[in-house]
Amino acid sequence: MQALRWHGIKDLRLENIEQPAALPGKVKIKVEWCGICGSDLHEYVAGPIFIPENAQHPLTGEKSPIVMGHEFSGQFFDFGEGVTKIQVGDREVVEPVFACGECDACRQGKYNLCDKMGFLGLAGGGGGFSEYVAADEHMVHKIPESVSFEQGALVEPSAVALYAVRQIQLKVDDKAVVFGAGPIGLLVIEALNASGASEIYAEELSEERTAKAEDLGAIVLDPNTYDVVEELHKRTNGGVYVPYEVTEVPPVLTQAIESAKISGEIMIVIIFEKEALIKPNNIVMNERNLTGLICYDDVFPALISLMENGYFPADKLVIKRIKLVDVIEAAFESLLIEEYQVTILVSPHA
C-alpha cells in the first residue's frame, strides 16, 4: 500500500509498504480521510518533536521512518482475534493516544499525561496518511451515518478544542477570545459555541481565516486595525474570562495574558517550538491563572454526539481536499507558503 513516511526535516516520502495485519486485539481500518495537523507541519519543518528518531518509542517499539497522520476516519476492513465490539459495516475514527496504563497519570485516568505517551501517526503504529491502519480496539470509536467521513476526520482535532473548553470553568454567559483562527483556533471557537459562551472574539490577520471565524459566529479583531488588548477591555468592560492562545507567537501569548479579566484563566492550546518570555506580574497582580493542555482524555463520545447535533460542520471548516499522491506539494509545501490555509483533508483512495 502507499503511505507517507517521515524520514527527517523536510524529508517526507510517499512509499510502498506492506499493509498492516489485523493482529489479535486490533481492528484494520480502510482510511477514508486524514487531516493535516499543526503537529504534522511542525514535524516537517522542525522535527523530530514527537517522532522517535534515534531510539525506539517505549510503547510502539518503532522509530523513524514512521507513517504520519493521526486525524483520520475510515471503515471496518478486518479484525483480529479477541475483537468483540466492531462489526462489518462500522464507520470509525481512532483516538490515537498511546499510554502505558501503569504510571501515576494513567492510574488517575489522565492518560494524555502518561510518562510514555505517544500518538499513532507520530510515534509509530501506522498512520492515517496511508491506505490502511491497524489500531487497538480500545482506540476505535464508532461514528453514526449522520456524521460523514470528512467530519469524522475532524473528530481528533475537535477533541483538542472541546477538551480546552472543558478544562476551563466557563459559565454560560462568559466571554472568551481566541488568538489565532487557524485550524485549532476555529475548532475552539466552535467548542465555545457549544459551551454557551455569550461573546466569542478572535484575533486574526488573514482575510480568509477571518471569514471562517465570522462564519462560526466570532467577532474578529484585526491587530492592524486595533490595539487588541485595549479593544477587548473596552468591549468587555475589563477583559474576557478566558483567552485561548493558539498561535505559538510569543508576543501574542503576552496579549492573551493581558486580555484576561481579573481572576481570568489563560489557556495555551499549542506546542511552542521556542521559548516565550512573559511578565509574571501580569499574572500575579490580577490573580490570573495560566495553564496549558496536551491533547485530551475521554472526550471523543461527547464530541461525536455534538457532531450529531450539528456542531463542527465539515463544510465550514474544510477548505481543500486532495489525494495522498499529491500530499507533499499540494499540502505540506502549500501550508508553508499559503499561511491562510485552514483545514486540508487527504484521501488515499480518492
The secondary structure of residue 211, as a DSSP letter, is H
**CATH number of the domain residue 332 falls in:** 3.90.180.10
- Are residues 262 and 151 located together in one domain of the fold? no
Average pLDDT over residues 325-336: 85
Is 336 a residue whose pLDDT tops 80? no
- Residue 230's contacts (CB-CB under 8 Å, 6 or more residues apart) are none
Is 340 a residue whose pLDDT tops 60? no
Q: In this predicted model, what pLDDT tens digit does every residue of 195-253 receive, in sequence order?
A: 989 999 999 999 989 999 999 999 999 999 999 999 999 999 999 999 999 998 999 99
Three-state DSSP state, 135: strand
- Do residues 113 and 105 lie in contact, with contact meaning Cβ atoms separated by under 8 Å? yes
User: Which domain covers residue 312, as residue numbers?
Assistant: 2-156+296-347
Q: In this predicted model, what pLDDT tens digit does every residue of 87-124 receive, in sequence order?
A: 878 999 999 999 999 999 999 999 999 999 999 999 99
Upstream peptide bond of 52 is cis (omega within 30 degrees of 0): no
220 within a domain of the structure (yes/no):
yes
- Are residues 46 and 139 located together in one domain of the fold? yes
Set of cell numbers at residue 33: 480521510
- Are residues 201 and 123 located together in one domain of the fold? no
Domain boundary among 276, 292, 308: 292
Which residues on adjacent β-strands are paired with residue 18? none
Set of cell numbers at residue 256: 492573551
pLDDT band at 141 (very low <50, low <70, confident <90, very high): very high
Cβ atoms < 10 Å from Cβ of 275: 6
pTM (2 d.p.): 0.94
287 within a domain of the structure (yes/no):
yes
Is 338 a residue whose pLDDT tops 70? no
Q: In this predicted model, what pLDDT tens digit does every residue of 50-81 receive, in sequence order?
A: 999 999 999 999 999 999 999 999 999 999 99
Is 313 a residue whose pLDDT tops 60? yes
Q: In this predicted model, what pLDDT tens digit does every residue of 254-289 receive, in sequence order?
A: 999 999 999 999 999 988 878 888 999 999 999 999
191 within a domain of the structure (yes/no):
yes
- Are residues 147 and 179 located together in one domain of the fold? no
Domain count, the chain: 2
Cβ atoms < 10 Å from Cβ of 178: 35
Cβ atoms < 10 Å from Cβ of 11: 12
